[in-house]
């Protein structure tokens, strides 16, 4: 982490507000009050609000905007809220929407109990927590099956959310993602509304570069949680496929993972660790123009917005069902078996696609990417909230 990034994060942490009150800029009428439990950064810091590379900041602002349009003055509680702030919450709201993703959702139940009069909506950005933990740990089991005794930290498990307690205080679930993620909540017998994720508006379709797309070049584009997101199996597959290139765009923060794969990456001249890149920047367009596929065999996502962002640039998705890209069956390829040998077979098959096939699939992918537009997110959210409020 650079010194500038460190001090910026420290500044945000110190200055972040626990609660932002009385947001009503988009209210034409005021019929009630709504409470949102998520993040306040984009409502406090202009630099965060104006950064389109992180779609969840835009989504928070848009949730407030939609609630305003429905006539609600909105208060927003930050996910780092302290107990004394929760204790001060009053039962004055008609609707409460609370994040339930990962350990950020640890305060959902406590806040929901404070607003018994409100319709309570569990906002899920991934699979049901118990199911998410099960499939996450299965990926680590597969890693240790291949590499017994290697010490790596278990990441991306959910340890501070009592999902059964949350569901006792939930009237409906907003599942931001795929059919897979949605159906992991079936056992709780709550109405579930599917909400499509949005994608960065920074990305433009590189029509002029279509002829550059190469079926033998693949891009991995993801955040933290390398083993859960499948970077380990991708590296090991391409290490045995020297004729095909892999470009890795991911943060280099997992020192145990980096140390273990250091020798493999140094020996594999076809694997290029690019690191973190700016969406919409020169490197992003260079990679998305020349690579035919974005490969992302994740174990647990609501919907992988890193993939939907690449789809906006016409990159063909090669993903697991758990990655949350429902449209992959139509425009891309679904990874049905994450074992190294099966993944190698799929990569080899895709690498032999003709230029015409790759271009056609790229155009189909771009068409499907409109499913993940900001406009679709807004419309679906508004219609879902209307249905929830009337139920």
Report strand pairing: 192-195 vs 271-273: unpaired
What pLDDT was estimated at residue 6?
39
In this structure, the answer to whether residues 191 and 252 fall within a common structural domain is no
Spatial separation of the C-alpha atoms in residues 37 and 101, rounded to whole Å: 11
pLDDT attached to residue 46: 62
Backbone angles phi, psi at 40, to 5 degrees: -100, -5
Note whether residue 366 is domain-resident: yes
- pLDDT attached to residue 2: 46
Mark whether 363 and 231 lie in a shared domain: yes
Q: Indicate if 184 and 264 belong to the same structural domain.
A: no
Task: Calculate what percentage of the chain has a pLDDT beyond 90.
Answer: 84
Residues 146, 182 within the same domain:
yes
How do residues 321-340 score in pLDDT, each as one tens digit? 999 999 999 999 999 999 99
In contact, 99 and 108? CB cutoff 8 Å: yes
Number of domains present in the structure of the chain: 2
Give the per-residue pLDDT at 14.
40
Domain span at residue 310?
A: 207-372
Residues of the chain with pLDDT under 70: 1-16, 45-54
Query: Has residue 250 been placed in a domain?
Result: yes
pLDDT at 5: 46
Q: Mark whether 186 and 231 lie in a shared domain.
A: no
The pLDDT assigned to 70 comes to 98
* CATH at 317: 3.40.50.2000
Same domain, 344 and 380: no
**Cα 15 from Cα 78, distance rounded (Å):** 12
Structure tokens at 24: 């009503």
Q: How far is CA 173 from CA 73, 83, 219, 382, in A?
A: 21, 24, 33, 14
Which pLDDT score, from 0 to 100, does residue 47 have? 53
Confidence at residue 16, expressed as pLDDT on a 0 to 100 scale: 63
Has residue 228 been placed in a domain?
Answer: yes
Q: Mind giving me the DSSP string for 65-95?
A: HHHHHTTEEEEEEETT--HHHHHT--S--SE
- Asked if residues 80 and 102 have their Cβ atoms less than 8 Å apart, the reply is no
**248 & 172 share domain:** no
| pTM of model > 0.95 | no
Identify the three-state secondary structure at position 333: strand
Domain co-membership, 184 together with 219: no
Question: Same structural domain for residues 158 and 77?
Answer: yes
- Please give the Cα distance from 106 to 159 (Å, whole number): 9
Same domain, 235 and 245: yes
Q: Are residues 18 and 144 in the same domain?
A: yes
């Amino acid at each position: 982490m650079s010194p500038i990034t460190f001090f910026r994060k420290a500044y945000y942490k110190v200055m972040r507000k626990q609660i932002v009150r009385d947001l009503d800029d988009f209210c034409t009428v005021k019929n009630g009050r709504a409470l949102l439990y998520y993040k306040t950064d984009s409502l406090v810091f202009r630099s965060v609000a104006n950064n389109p590379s992180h779609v969840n900041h835009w989504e928070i602002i848009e949730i407030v905007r939609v609630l305003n349009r429905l006539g609600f003055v909105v208060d927003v509680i930050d996910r780092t809220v302290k107990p004394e702030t929760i204790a001060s919450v009053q039962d004055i709201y008609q609707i409460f929407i609370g994040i339930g993703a990962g350990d950020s959702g640890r305060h959902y139940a406590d806040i929901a109990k404070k607003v018994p009069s409100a319709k309570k909506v569990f906002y899920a950005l991934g699979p049901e927590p118990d199911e998410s933990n099960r499939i996450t740990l299965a990926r680590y089991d597969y890693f240790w099956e291949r590499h017994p005794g290697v010490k790596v930290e278990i990441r991306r498990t959910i340890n501070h959310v009592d999902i059964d307690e949350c569901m006792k205080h939930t009237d409906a679930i907003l599942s931001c993602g795929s059919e897979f993620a949605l159906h992991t909540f079936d056992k709780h017998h709550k109405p579930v509304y599917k909400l499509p994720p949005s994608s960065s508006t920074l990305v433009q379709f590189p029509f002029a570069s279509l002829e550059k797309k190469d079926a033998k070049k693949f891009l991995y584009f993801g955040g933290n949680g390398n083993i859960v997101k499948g970077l380990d199996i991708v590296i090991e597959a391409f290490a045995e496929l020297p004729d095909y290139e892999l470009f890795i765009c991911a943060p280099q923060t997992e020192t145990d993972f980096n140390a273990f794969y250091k020798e493999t990456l140094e020996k594999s001249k076809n694997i290029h660790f690019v690191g973190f890149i700016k969406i919409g920047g020169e490197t992003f367009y260079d990679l998305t123009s020349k690579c035919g596929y974005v490969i992302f065999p994740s174990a647990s996502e609501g919907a992988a917005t890193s993939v939907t962002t690449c789809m906006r640039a016409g990159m063909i998705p090669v993903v697991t069902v758990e990655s949350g890209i429902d449209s992959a069956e139509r425009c891309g390829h679904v990874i049905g078996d994450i074992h190294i040998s099966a993944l190698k077979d799929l990569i080899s098959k895709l690498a032999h696609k003709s230029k015409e096939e790759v271009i056609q699939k790229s155009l189909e992918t771009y068409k499907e990417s409109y499913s993940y537009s900001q406009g679709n997110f807004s419309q679906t959210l508004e219609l879902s909230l209307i249905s929830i409020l009337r139920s």
